[in-house]
């Protein structure tokens, strides 16, 4: 966390108010007394007390009594003004880029440029990088599949080092508490993001050159996606294609197969990139942890992937447990307005010029149509103990309705290989994977952890 001592002049009031209106990238605001040893002297104002699926926190710390604010269920405009006017304040934010530098575990081969992209039709080209993690050195005589690993963080931040721990574990990390059945030549990738390069909260983050791209943005190439929308999707597809051509560059142990795995927003991209990949460039299998497969209206109209009207009520256990952050991230990723606050943008429900429903276009569920498409595995938290369909669920950031609809759809495609891991806890994505959080989390009705089940599925289709 980078701290910026300041008197917090009124110039910060708009930032606090943007948070209150859900038009800021900051999903949670924290008021904390100067004496941080007093746990009662702080309060999180946000759409959820659980910030795990959210993002950075706008933390306002000051020396005087904050009891009046701590008693308020919401932060008022007057309260925001008072905070902005108050002296002796510390304003602090964590790393908005969510991009550890240097990463805890050094890649075998870091900073490999796997493609470039033009910033405009006639503009300069910028490279996009990946890090390669090779299996343990004593692999003589062994063969390993390649794995393209796609980070999450809401489509707007994160980078190839965000999943450094997972990349290490998948390739050559020490023995896990629950050993994996297969190791991979792992390629952790960067891709284009929906952050704003003008956001001063990013500071000098390495993700800045990747900002200012949305699902609706035209990809200026070069590559198969040139001239069409979905630049981040194209980056994932190009990474898989690159791996097929270069997985053996540094390790003669490659077995000729490439799998794809994404977490959260990276899972959403992976789940759409796999079935829409150019001929010959699809992965052998794809997996997603909390992959947000359905941004559109679900089968239970008019519920969206985040929630339904009245929006941002947090009232339905079938929906996201953090609707404010879910809507902000989804709308920003697609390129829709966030001015309406949590909820769908009418111009994205039906584009004024083309009539396109952009929420449908950005939903992986609509792109699975054939048994010839890559085998698919996905895991999602938020279920209650028992079988799928229990009531009430215990939601995570990606709502239960999204997962149920996606399962029903792909399971109905005769001949398409599918496996689903139901997690009976409200954990999101790497929360049920990371050794530092909940590595013992099993898939329901099995003794295997989510990580083990993921690896077993990918290995069964890539070895």
Q: Domain containing 410 — which CATH number?
A: 3.40.50.1820
Residue 310 lies in a domain: no
Amino acid 49: pLDDT: 29
Q: Is residue 319 part of a domain?
A: no
351-354-357 Cα angle (round to 5): 45
Strand partners, 150: 189, 262
Which of 9, 15, 205 has its CA nearest to residue 96? 205
Separation between Cα atoms, residue 345 and residue 133, nearest integer Å: 41
Among 52, 29, 28, 47, residue whose Cα is nearest residue 382: 52
> What's the pLDDT band for 198 if we cut at 50, 70, 90?
confident
Question: Residue 392: pLDDT band by 50, 70, 90 thresholds?
Answer: low
Sheet of 285-289, strand order: 109-118, 125-133, 185-189, 144-150, 254-263, 285-289, 376-380, 418-422
pLDDT tier, 340 (very low <50, low <70, confident <90, very high otherwise): confident
Residue 200 sits in the same domain as residue 88 = no
The answer, yes or no, to whether residue 139 has pLDDT greater than 80, is: no
Q: What is the mean pLDDT of residues 12-38?
A: 46
Residue 55 resides in a domain: yes
Pair (184, 250) in one structural domain = yes
Report the range out of 42-46, 255-259, 340-344 with the highest average pLDDT: 255-259
In the predicted model, is pLDDT for residue 18 greater than 80? no
Average pLDDT value for residue range 83-101: 54
Nearest residue to 220 via CA among 128, 122, 113: 122
Task: Give residue 95's pLDDT band: very low, low, confident or very high (50, 70, 90).
Answer: low
Task: Indicate if the pLDDT at residue 326 is higher than 70.
Answer: yes
Q: pTM (2 decimals)?
A: 0.81
Domain boundary pick from 93, 117, 145: 93
Q: What is the pLDDT of residue 268?
A: 97
Q: Please confirm whether the linkage preceding 222 is cis (ω < 30° from 0).
A: yes
- Range 44-66 burial, b when 16+ CB lie within 10 A, else e: bbbbbebbbbbbbbbbbbbeeeb
Higher-pLDDT residue of 327, 150: 150
Q: Is residue 249 domain-shared with residue 378, that is, in the same domain? A: yes
User: Does residue 36 fall inside a structural domain?
Assistant: yes
pLDDT in tens, 275-310: 999 999 999 999 999 999 988 887 666 678 888 777
Pair 378, 437 in one domain = yes
Residue 338 in any domain: the answer is no
The pLDDT of residue 204: 78
- Does residue 347 belong to any structural domain of this protein? no
Q: Reply yes or no on whether the pLDDT at 2 is more than 60.
A: no
Q: What is the pLDDT of residue 390?
A: 55
Residue-wise pLDDT for 148-192, tens only, equals 999 999 999 899 999 999 999 999 877 677 889 999 999 999 999
Cβ neighbours of residue 391 closer than 8 Å, sequence gap 6 or more: 384
How far is CA 219 from each of CA 142, 232, 233, 267, rounded to the nearest angstrom?
Answer: 39, 9, 10, 21
Q: Around 258, how many Cα atoms within 13 Å sit in the side-chain half-sphere?
A: 22
Do residue 81 and residue 127 come from a single domain? no
34 plus 118 within the same structural domain? no
246 and 139 part of one domain: yes
- The pLDDT score that the predictor gives to residue 353 is 96
Residue with tokens 């699902």: 215
**What is the predicted pLDDT for the residue at 396?**
87
Residue 186 DSSP SS3: strand
Average pLDDT of the residues in 382-405: 71
Residue 336: pLDDT band (50, 70, 90) is: very high
* 43 and 184 belong to one structural domain: no
User: What is the pLDDT confidence band of residue 70, given thresholds at 50, 70 and 90?
Assistant: very low
Q: Residue 279: inside a domain, yes or no?
A: yes
**In terms of domains, do 84 and 122 share one?**
no
According to the model, what pLDDT value does residue 80 have?
Answer: 54
What pLDDT, on a 0 to 100 scale, did the predictor assign at position 96? 62
Q: What percent of the chain has pLDDT over 90?
A: 51
Please report whether residue 316 resides in a domain. Answer: no
pLDDT bracket for residue 47 (50, 70, 90): very low
Q: Which of 194-208, 238-252, 324-338 has the lowest mean pLDDT?
A: 194-208
Share of the chain above pLDDT 70, in %: 73
Residue after which a domain boundary falls, among 69, 93, 117: 93
The domain in which residue 272 lies consists of 109-296+358-460
Residues 260 and 393 occupy one common structural domain: yes
Residue that is last in its domain, among 43, 60, 93 = 93
Range 373-401 average pLDDT: 77
pLDDT of residue 52: 37
Helix, strand or coil, per DSSP, at residue 445: coil
Using the predicted structure, report yes or no on whether residue 147 has a pLDDT greater than 60: yes
User: Cβ distance 55 to 325 under 8 Å?
Assistant: yes
- Residue 42: predicted pLDDT: 40
Look over the chain and give the mean of its residue pLDDT values, rounded to a whole number: 80
Residue 295 CA from chain centroid, whole number: 13
Residue 149 confidence (pLDDT)? 98
DSSP 319-385: S-S-HHHHHHHHHHHHT---TT-SS--HHHHS-TTT---HHHHT-GGGG---TTSPPEEEEE--PPS
Q: Based on the domain organization, do 224 and 185 belong to the same domain?
A: yes
What pLDDT sits at residue 35?
A: 35
Query: What local confidence, expressed as pLDDT, does residue 371 receive?
Result: 96
Both 59 and 136 in a single domain? no
Please give the tally of structural domains in the chain: 2
**What confidence score (pLDDT) does residue 171 get?**
93
């Amino acid at each position: 966390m980078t701290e910026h001592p300041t008197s917090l002049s009124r110039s910060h009031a708009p930032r606090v108010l943007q948070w209150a209106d859900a038009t800021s990238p900051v999903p949670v605001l924290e008021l904390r007394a100067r004496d941080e040893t007093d746990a009662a002297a702080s309060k999180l104002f946000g759409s959820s007390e659980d910030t795990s699926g959210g993002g950075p926190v706008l933390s306002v710390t000051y020396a005087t009594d904050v009891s009046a604010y701590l008693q308020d269920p919401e932060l008022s405009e007057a309260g925001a003004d008072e905070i902005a006017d108050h002296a002796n304040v510390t304003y602090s934010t964590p790393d908005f880029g969510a991009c550890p530098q240097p990463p805890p575990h050094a890649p075998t081969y870091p900073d490999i440029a796997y493609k470039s992209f033009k910033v405009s039709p006639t503009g300069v080209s910028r490279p996009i990088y990946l890090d390669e993690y090779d299996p343990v050195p004593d692999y003589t005589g062994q063969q390993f599949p390649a794995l393209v690993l796609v980070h999450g963080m809401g489509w707007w931040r994160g980078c190839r080092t965000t999943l450094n721990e997972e990349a290490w574990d998948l390739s050559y990390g020490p023995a896990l508490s629950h050993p994996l059945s297969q190791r991979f030549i792992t390629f952790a990738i960067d891709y284009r993001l929906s952050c704003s390069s003008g956001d001063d909260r990013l500071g000098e983050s390495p993700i800045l050159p990747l900002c200012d791209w949305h699902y609706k943005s035209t990809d200026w190439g070069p590559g198969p996606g040139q001239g069409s929308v979905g630049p981040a999707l194209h980056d994932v597809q190009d990474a898989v294609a690159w791996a097929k051509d270069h997985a053996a560059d540094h390790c003669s142990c490659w077995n000729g197969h490439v799998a794809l795995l994404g977490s959260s927003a990276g899972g959403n991209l992976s789940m759409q990139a796999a079935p829409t990949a150019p001929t010959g460039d699809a992965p052998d299998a794809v997996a997603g942890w909390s992959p947000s497969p359905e941004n559109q209206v679900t089968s239970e109209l008019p519920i969206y992937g985040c929630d339904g009207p009245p929006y941002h009520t947090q009232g339905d256990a079938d929906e996201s447990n953090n609707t404010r952050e879910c809507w902000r991230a989804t709308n920003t990723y697609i390129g829709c307005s966030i001015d309406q606050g949590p909820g769908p943008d009418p111009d994205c429900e039906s584009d004024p010029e083309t009539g396109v429903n952009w929420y449908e276009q950005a939903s992986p569920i609509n792109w699975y149509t054939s048994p010839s498409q890559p085998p698919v595995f996905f895991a999602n938290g938020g279920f209650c103990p028992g079988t799928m369909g229990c009531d009430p669920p215990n939601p995570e950031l990606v709502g239960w309705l999204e997962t149920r609809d996606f399962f029903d759809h792909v399971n109905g495609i005769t001949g398409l290989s599918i496996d689903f891991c139901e997690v009976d806890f409200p954990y999101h994505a790497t929360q049920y994977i990371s050794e530092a959080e909940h590595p013992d989390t099993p898939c329901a009705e099995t003794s295997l952890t989510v990580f083990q089940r993921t690896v077993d599925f990918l290995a069964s289709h890539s070895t």
